[in-house]
Structure 1
């Protein structure tokens, strides 16, 4: 309990620094772009158009809401990918600051994930616009859409803490994680329907992928207007909490050694 209180106390003490780091991360992401943060809206829209044109030919089957299907998967996976990749580099990338000034090192990881989450929330404006244009009818289950988003945020934070710790000691983690993200993407049904995969007996791929579980439940709430898959909800939430606990413990135990390897 004492350690938990100390963590909360430190987090409160350095909340202004967290705010500044989040603001800095967002500015750096778009510092040399003429359109700036507008790319948060333009990039997923252009990607959706390309994926719809390419894969819609094979999988669309006449449904006008296929772009929303693609966009929901694309936005959620992109947040997970960008947040974890930024979190992975957050400690090693701030080596000079860590050597000069003492602040809780987890602040750098948290700021990376939070800044990407804020960018993701802004990009949801595109999803709303596309859904309105394609006449996706909102239902009462839309109120559940925030649940898979919070689960995905916790999952990204836990994964980032683990990756940030490992990357200090093993720089190859960055390249390994790039390949792992590619595997997760193809197993997340971003641009293809899952029915044929499930019928072929290979649906187990989705049942072990917590990122897909969040995407599926988000689609249920936003696109299909049906209740969330509670099995997916409980399982993905459990995995997210386990990852967060592992990440916190690993980061806490190894953080004093960071200075020797940065």
Structure 2
């Protein structure tokens, strides 16, 4: 373990450069640049709030805040895992020239998405202040669900990056999967409107637990329950360990496919 820690410390400056490169590449030639990380969720919140709050008449207090909080968590998962899929392939030329710990490329994609997550969180705070939603002391606990979603996404990202090198069709299949997953996550709708047979299925979605924890501390002045914490820890640990295992078992073959 000490060897891995020393190796990470040695290449930590490179990780910082990779994160900076990912962010610059995403907003290259954009007039507003990183400001889009604030504007994108705000624009989507306005559109979806108008459509869903009027069309379906959801009885949710401060629905724009409810919606934006759901978008914040799910959009991060979607962005981080989707970007991680191509992390190894995009850096193939570099891997062919010098030795670099391959997991750094996945880490850089997830961490650059985390910066966007923090910017979206700032947008959420601004919306809450604009709508005069009370900020409770439980907001101080918001790092807990955010750390959970980052770790869970990292585990998924490691798996996807490893298998996509060999099976490129995963990139197309995963976009369909993410769309389906969004509808099985209470991003737009409240859990109370679900039929009895669908509720257990939505609860089995690991993102649902993290999202509800995030909303509880942000909006509802509610502490995370012990059960939800244990479930999140178990889910994130399993996904992260499994992701590291899959990545480690396949990383030596990457050079044959990139």
Contact 2:60 2:190 in 1 (8 A): no
Deviation at 1:66, TM superposition (A): 0.5
2:123 to 126, 139, 142: 126
Cα distance, 1:60 vs structure 2: 4.6
Q: How does 1:170-189 map to 2 (within 5 A)?
A: 170-189=167-186
1:14 match: 11
| Structure-2 change in CA distance of 1:63 and 1:168 (3 Å) | closer
Count of paired positions: 258
Q: Which residue of 2 aligns with 1:211?
A: 207
Q: Are residues 1:235 and 2:231 paired? A: yes
* RMSD (Å), alpha carbons: 1.4
**TM-score when scaled to structure 2?**
0.96
Q: Distance in 2 between matches of 1:223 and 1:60?
A: 20
2:52 & 2:226 partners in 1: Cα distance? 29
Query: Could you say if the C-alpha distance between residues 255 and 226 of structure 1 is closer, same or farther in structure 2, counting changes exceeding 3 Å?
Result: same
Deviates more, 1:220-229 or 1:162-171: 220-229
* Aligned with residue 42 of structure 2, among 38, 42, 45: 45
Match of 1:253 in 2: 249
Q: Report the Cα distance in structure 1 between the residues aligned to 2:56 and 2:7, rounded to whole angstroms.
A: 50
Q: Alpha-carbon deviation of 1:226?
A: 1.2
CA 1:59–1:132 in structure 2 vs 1: closer, same or farther (change >3 Å)?
farther
In structure 2, the partner of 1:71 is 68
Aligned to 1:103: 100
Give the structure 1 partner of residue 159 of structure 2. 162
Match of 1:221 among 217, 222, 233: 217
- The answer as to whether partners of 2:52 and 2:58 remain within 8 angstroms in 1 is no
Q: Which runs of 5+ in 2 are unaligned?
A: none
Cα distance in 1 for residues equivalent to 2:107 and 2:206:
21
CA contact (8 A) 1:68 1:130 kept: yes
Q: Which runs of 4+ in 1 moved over 4 A?
A: 59-64
Cα offset, 1:62, TM superposition: 6.3
Indicate if the aligned counterparts of 1:89 and 1:164 stay in contact, CA closer than 8 A: yes
* Separation in structure 2 between the aligned mates of residue 59 and residue 240 of structure 1, nearest angstrom: 34
Maintained 8 Å contact 1:64/1:134: no
Q: CA deviation at 1:208?
A: 0.8
Mapped contact 1:151–1:240 kept (Cα < 8 A): yes
Identify the residue that residue 244 of structure 1 maps to in structure 2: 240
Gaps of 5+ in 1: none
Q: 2:114 aligns with which of 105, 113, 117?
A: 117
1:34 aligned residue:
31
1:64 Cα deviation after fit? 5.1
Q: Is the counterpart of residue 202 in structure 1 residue 207 in structure 2? A: no
CA distance in 2, matches of 1:86, 1:208: 25
| Equivalent residue number for residue 136 of structure 1 | 133
| CA distance in structure 2 between the aligned counterparts of 1:121 and 1:93, rounded to whole angstroms | 25
SS of alignment partner, residue 223 of structure 2: coil
Whether the aligned pair in 1 keeps the contact of 2:209 and 2:228 (CA below 8 Å) is yes
Q: Is the 8 A contact 2:69 2:124 kept in 1?
A: yes
